[in-house]
Amino acid sequence: MNEKLKKNESNIKKLIKELNQRVEKLKLGGGEKKIAKQHEKGKLTARERIEYLIDKNSRTIEIGIFAGEGMYREYGGCPAGGVVVVIGYVSGRQCVIVANDATVKAGAWFPISTKKNLRAQEIAMENRLPIIYLVDSAGVFLPMQD
């Protein structure tokens, strides 16, 4: 392999590593402290609820994990748009699953949360998939309710 290809491969591997690190951080939602608070209340996180619901050892795909990336910093951010959307199997049937992330502003909806929810509905309708909502939400994020 020539030197240019080795350098490109090295750069791509570095970028993939950085991307995977960003994804892992986003999967923490509002962070480890907020996750611990959910557990103290006897509640599962959005991702744990989805994992509990879907068929074991079935394939899933998450939609829109980067929604909200870098948005609403003045309010502490909105990782993954404050909602987790997964296509997965429940009782052998492929479904769209939407779960509010209560670790992000108590699951309150930001404008990007609404857009992400609408996209999940469009995917469900276009593909004739049932949609399951796992709601744990404070409602709309009041500072941005307009």
What pTM was estimated for this model as a whole?
Answer: 0.87
The CATH number for 14's domain is 3.90.226.10
Q: From CA 98, how far away is CA 29, in angstroms rounded?
A: 15
Q: Longest C-alpha distance within the chain, in Å?
A: 57
Query: Domain limits at 103?
Result: 3-144
Q: What pLDDT score was predicted for residue 138?
A: 64
User: For the chain, what percent of residues have pLDDT higher than 70?
Assistant: 93
Question: Residue 85's beta-bridge partner residues?
Answer: 63, 98
Q: What pLDDT score was predicted for residue 124?
A: 98
| Total of domains in the chain | 1
Q: Give the pLDDT mean for 107-123.
A: 92
Q: What pLDDT score was predicted for residue 140?
A: 59
Q: What pLDDT score was predicted for residue 81?
A: 92
Decide if pLDDT at 43 tops 60. yes
